[in-house]
Structures are given as C-alpha cells and as structure tokens.
Amino acid sequence: MDVTLHVWRQKNAKAKGAMEVIEGKDISEHSSFLEMLDTVNETLLSKGQEPIAFDHDCREGICGACSLVINGEPHGPEYGTTTCQLHMRSFKNGQHIFIEPWRAKAFPVIRDLVVDREAFDRIQQAGGFVSVNVGSPQDANCLPIAKQDADKAFDAAVCIGCGACVAACKNASPMLFVAAKVSQLALLPQGQPERESRVLAMVDQMKKEGFGNCSNQYECEAACPKEISVEHIARMNREYLRASFLEEAPKAGHGGD
Amino acid sequence: MKLCDRVFGSPVGAKMLMALTGLMLTGFVLAHLSGNLLLYAGQEKFNAYAHGLQSLGLLLWLARGGLLTAFVLHLYLAIKLTIENKAARPVPYAHEATIQASLASRHMVHTGLLMFAFIVYHLAHFTFRVTSPEIEALTPGDAYAVVVLGFSNPVVSGFYILAMAALATHLRHGVSSAFQSFGLYHGNLNVVTDKLGPIVAGIVFVGFSSIPVSVLLGCIK
Ligand code: HEM
Ligand code: SF4
Ligand code: FES
C-alpha cells in the first residue's frame, strides 16, 4: 500500500520545525507503524536525505518509549494499543497520515518526533517509590494483600509512562500518569509509610514542570495504551485531600535513611 | 498556610474549590428557579414571595455574601486555570482530534463567560432595574410586572434563552464533573452522577426558558 505522510520535522530543540510531506511507497499492510517508518527512512537514506527521528525500544508494547500523535490521536486510532503494536492494516491505501510529536510545554521536542520526557522521571523521583531497609528480604507471603486491592494496584501499575495521556489531554495534563503511580502505591501495604508525603510531593512536582490542569474530559483514558481508568484520578484527588489535612511538611525525596 | 496553599495553589485543590463553588452556585440556581416558577401562581403570590425574600434582612445579606464569594472564586480560578492550560501546550497540533471529550466539557470557559455577561445584564435588569425608563417607572414592589414587561421584548427574551442554553451546557458537564473532582468515582455512584449533569441541565433549561416563552405567548400577562 501507499500512504502520504505529513511529518513534523525539526532539526533540534532550538530550531523552528514544520510539517513536511513524505511519500511512503510499497508498504506492507502487515508491517507495524514503526516498521513503516523504518521503510520510509531506508528510502530517505538511499536518497541521501535525513531519516525521520522517532522514539522506540521494545516494540512489543511494554517499555513506553514509542510515542507519535497519529491523525490527532496519541498512539494512533486503535484502542489500547501502543504505536509499536499498531499495524498498517488500520489505515487505507492512499490515506494521508499526520504524524506529530507529543505536544506539551513540559515535553520539549528534541528532534523531529522525539520529545524529552524527563519531566515524568522527576515526578516519579519526587515520590513514586517505596523506601526499603537494607538486609535480607522479607518472605513475600508475610504481607497479605486482599485480592481486590492487588488487582486494582495492578491496573494502575501497568502504566508504562509513555506520556500519551499528556499528549491527548486538551490541557496537556499528566493527571492519569501521576494518578496511576500514586494509586498503585496507595493501595499496597508497602506504600503506606510514605502515603501522604508521596501524593503531595508528586502533585507539587507536576505543577512545577509546567503541565496543565485536569478538566475531567477523559481524553487521557481513551488514549492510554494500557486502558488505565480515570478512577485512579479520583483516588489521587481523595489521597491529596486526605494528605493535605494529615501531613504538615512534605517529607518525600528523603528516601529511607 | 500550607493548607491554604494546597487548596489554591495546587491543580488538585483548585479543582476541588472550582467544584465546591460551582455546586454552591448550582444550588442557588435551583432555588432561584423554584422561586421563579411561582410566576405561574399569579401576580399576588409572586410579589408576596419577592417581598418575603426582601424582608429576610440579615439572612439575605449572608446568602448574597456567600454567593458573591463563591462566584468571585469560581471566576478567578476559571481564568487562572484556563491561562495555565493554554500555556501548557504552546504549539498546537496540525491535525486536531477529539476522542471522547464532550462538546460541553470543551467549552466550559466560553459558556461560563457568556453567563458572566448575562449575569451583569440580569442584575441591571431585574435587581437594579436600570435597563429602560419603562422599567424604572414601575411600582418598586411589583416584581411580577418587571418580568412581564422585560420578556415582552423578544430580543430580551432571546438573549435570556440563549444564556439559559449556555448555563445548561455548563452544568451538563460541570455537575457530573464536580463529583470526579472531589474524588467520588465508583461504578455504582457513577450511574447517578453521570446522569445528574444532564438532568440538572434539562430542568434548568426548560424551567427558566418556559417563563419568557409563556410571556411571549401571553400565558403570563
Ligand atoms: C462567571 C462565569 C463562569 C465562568 C467563567 C465559569 C467557568 C468555568 C470553567 C472554566 C469550569 C471548568 C473548570 C475545569 O474543569 O478546569 C467551570 C466548572 C464548573 N462550573 Fe463554572 N463558570 C462560571 C459560572 C458558573 C455558574 C453560574 C455555575 C452554576 C450555576 C457554574 C457551575 C460550575 C460547575 C458545577 C463546574 C464543575 C466543577 C468541576 O469540574 O469540578 N459555573 N466553570
Ligand atoms: S497513564 Fe497510560 S497514557 Fe499515561 S503514561 Fe501511563 S500508560 Fe501512558
Ligand atoms: S516501543 Fe516499547 S512500548 Fe512501543
């Protein structure tokens, strides 16, 4: 199949970018979206042109490296799918496909379709951890966890930190990501000692990074490749309210000394 | 101090305050509607009700103070959050798409600002009665006559109905959304809260709009 790509090209973080039209010829409909870009890049290279820069790593939907806003939808048109797991059979022969980077002030473009997602790392470092004392590990069965709690925590823990929630949100808000991290640990016994300081510190960091605010439109939930529910945002809101009353000064970031 | 900062300064706290003030205003709107529907009971009953309100004295001023505070906070946060949200995405998408966000949810600030314009006019019209010499000339206690005279003008009625459409659109998203802001999300609860926005919106739109329509049709005169 043939497709016409409209791709965001930008030399580096400082350069001014623009959309560029690139033809994709003889693409197998069984190839993944990233394989299609590989094919297009081969052609560009053979013509001595710069290949399109894009993020990828595992190519099996688990690492969170791939991104791309495809025709306005982060990770493309399929529900609950990462870009690397998206296939060209989801598109029509001759279709025009717009490919853009995640758009957010907190995710600056580094080159073409690659953005800097370190803001997520800093939010995670602010509180998305549990402190564990050194020594021999405890027997796993010593910590009983109710099945429904384990299941809910797992539903949140599947977040791969890709940032599609930010890209999809009309306000570039990372609430779904932050909520997934807060929720996962708030539901488990291991997360209890830092329960209050965690949510306060992570929300604080989210604000510092210059993301927008949630307005309950749920675009994030629809775009999330891991189908994380906005139920977790509600839980984070509750956790935040609770912590605001219980905790005086944020302690997170000190680790378990 | 810390608590204050967390309520006003954080994205989560600001949304809760937005939801709280929004629901306070919604409570007022529903109370206001039930009072207005007394127009259908006739001139005497309606004027007695309006007079009753005026004679509440301190209580009326407390209610007005509370409403004004809620209103100012709501407006302030709406503008602050909207500016922050716009700044969070400086480069727009060349190909915009919406997956599931409702139309109402995407136009909260527009419907809100239209209401703001309406509220200014509405107070000038019914509370201060300064919009036309005919209204100024009416007997001070006759609220019923002010309503009938005002809505006999199709332009006034049209603007009023348009503002009610904006209010209903705002509440369609807002009332349901407020529960999520408070963290109240649960499979069983959502069955109710998801419908509450549209139901309140429907009641508000039909209830308020029926009055100018009735005046124009001559059912209230
Ligand atoms: C002065 C004009 C107004 C403006 C500019 C305004 C603006 C807004 C905006 C932008 C939001 C969305 C906030 C967000 O999702 O981030 C909102 C929410 C809301 N508004 Fe208003 N509004 C106004 C008046 C009103 C009035 C008069 C009522 C009620 C009668 C009301 C009820 C609500 C409710 C219930 C919410 C939902 C809060 C939430 O999502 O948690 N608003 N308003
Ligand atoms: S919540 Fe979903 S969309 Fe957001 S970072 Fe995690 S996996 Fe990606
Ligand atoms: S490349 Fe790892 S999730 Fe797509």
Beta carbons of B10 and A204 less than 8 Å apart: yes
Confidence class for position A257, pLDDT limits 50, 70, 90: very low
CA-nearest residue, atom 20 of ligand 1: B22
B13 contacts B175 by C-beta, under 8 angstroms: no
Classify residue A251: in a domain, yes or no: no
How far away is chain A from the Cα of B24, in angstroms, using its nearest Cα? 19
DSSP for residue A58: S
DSSP for residue A75: T
Residue A82 sits in the same domain as residue A169: no
Q: Does A156 touch chain B (CB under 8 A)?
A: no
Classify residue B36: in a domain, yes or no: yes
For a mutational test of ligand 1's pocket, the pick from B12, B29, B71, B74, i.e. the residue with the most ligand atoms closer than 8 A to its C-beta, is B74
Could you tell me if the CB of A22 is within 6 A of ligand 2?
Answer: no
A252 contacts A197 by C-beta, under 8 angstroms: yes
Confidence class for position A249, pLDDT limits 50, 70, 90: low
Residue A188 sits in the same domain as residue A106: no
Confidence class for position B9, pLDDT limits 50, 70, 90: confident
Classify residue B68: in a domain, yes or no: yes
A166 contacts A112 by C-beta, under 8 angstroms: no
CA-nearest residue, atom 18 of ligand 1: B174
Classify residue B93: in a domain, yes or no: no
Query: Domain range for residue B128?
Result: 2-87+101-217
Whole-number percent of chain B with pLDDT over 90: 79
pLDDT tens per residue across span A222-244: 999 999 999 999 999 999 999 98
The reported pTM is 0.93
Classify residue A257: in a domain, yes or no: no
Domain count, chain A: 2
Cα A176 from Cα A212, distance rounded (Å): 12
Rounded mean pLDDT of chain A? 94
Beta carbons of B81 and A215 less than 8 Å apart: yes
CA of A226 to the centre of ligand 2 (A): 7
Looking at residue A140, its pLDDT comes to: 79
Mean pLDDT confidence for B72-92: 96
**First vs last C-alpha separation in chain A:** 59
Classify residue B95: in a domain, yes or no: no
**Residue A103's CATH number:** 3.10.20.30
Classify residue B92: in a domain, yes or no: no
CA-nearest residue, atom 6 of ligand 1: B112
Residue A200 sits in the same domain as residue A82: no
Residue A72 sits in the same domain as residue A121: no
Mean pLDDT confidence for B35-52: 92
Classify residue B188: in a domain, yes or no: yes
Cα A217 from Cα A195, distance rounded (Å): 27
Residue A235 sits in the same domain as residue A180: yes
Query: Domain range for residue A28?
Result: 3-111
Beta carbons of A244 and B6 less than 8 Å apart: yes
Could you tell me if the CB of A141 is within 6 A of ligand 1?
Answer: no
Beta bridge partners, A8, equal A19
Residue A151 sits in the same domain as residue A97: no
Nearest residue in chain B measured CA to CA from A71: B95
Looking at residue A256, its pLDDT comes to: 41
Classify residue B166: in a domain, yes or no: yes
Residue-by-residue DSSP string for chain B = -HHHHHHHHSHHHHHHHHHHHHHHHHHHHHHHHHHHGGGGG-HHHHHHHHHHHHTTTHHHHHHHHHHHHHHHHHHHHHHHHHHHHHHT--SPPSS---SS--HHHHTHHHHHHHHHHHHHHHIIIIIS--S-HHHHTS-TT-HHHHHHHHHTSHHHHHHHHHHHHHHHHHHHHHHHHHHHHTT---HHHHHHHHHHHHHHHHHHHHHHHHHHHHHHHTS--
Domain count, chain B: 1
**What is the identity of the amino acid at B77?**
L
What is the sign of the dihedral through the CA atoms of A233, A234, A235 and A237? positive
Cα B135 from Cα B184, distance rounded (Å): 46
Classify residue A66: in a domain, yes or no: yes
Contacts of A106 in chain B (CB under 8 A): 88
Contacts of B15 in chain A (CB under 8 A): 213-215, 237
Residue A8 sits in the same domain as residue A105: yes
Residue A121 sits in the same domain as residue A224: yes
Looking at residue B56, its pLDDT comes to: 86
Could you tell me if the CB of A181 is within 6 A of ligand 2?
Answer: no
**Residue B151's CATH number:** 1.20.1300.10
Rounded mean pLDDT of chain B? 93
Confidence class for position A221, pLDDT limits 50, 70, 90: very high
Cα-Cα-Cα-Cα torsion B53, B59, B60, B62, nearest 10 degrees, comes to -160
Classify residue A79: in a domain, yes or no: yes
Instruction: Using DSSP bridges, classify how beta strands A69-70 and A96-100 pair: parallel, antiparallel or unpaired.
Output: antiparallel
Classify residue A222: in a domain, yes or no: yes
Q: Does A110 touch chain B (CB under 8 A)?
A: no
Beta carbons of A212 and B89 less than 8 Å apart: yes
Mean pLDDT confidence for A126-154: 90
**Residues of B contacting chain A (CB within 8 angstroms):** 2-3, 6-7, 9-16, 81, 84-85, 87-102, 105-106, 108, 173, 177, 180-186
Classify residue B18: in a domain, yes or no: yes
Confidence class for position A135, pLDDT limits 50, 70, 90: confident
Is residue A223 classed as helix, strand or coil in its secondary structure? helix
Contacts of B10 in chain A (CB under 8 A): 203-204, 207, 240
> Between B108-122 and B154-181, two packed helices, what is the crossing angle to 10 degrees?
130
Beta bridge partners, A22, equal A5
Looking at residue A251, its pLDDT comes to: 54
How far away is chain B from the Cα of A220, in angstroms, using its nearest Cα? 9
Residue A147 sits in the same domain as residue A107: no
Cα B19 from Cα A65, distance rounded (Å): 36
Looking at residue B218, its pLDDT comes to: 87
Cα A233 from Cα A231, distance rounded (Å): 5
Residue A87 sits in the same domain as residue A162: no
* Facing A210 at nearest CB: one of B88, B105, B185: B88
Position with higher pLDDT, A47 vs A132: A47
Classify residue A253: in a domain, yes or no: no
pLDDT score of A254 more than 60:
no
Residue A199 sits in the same domain as residue A126: yes
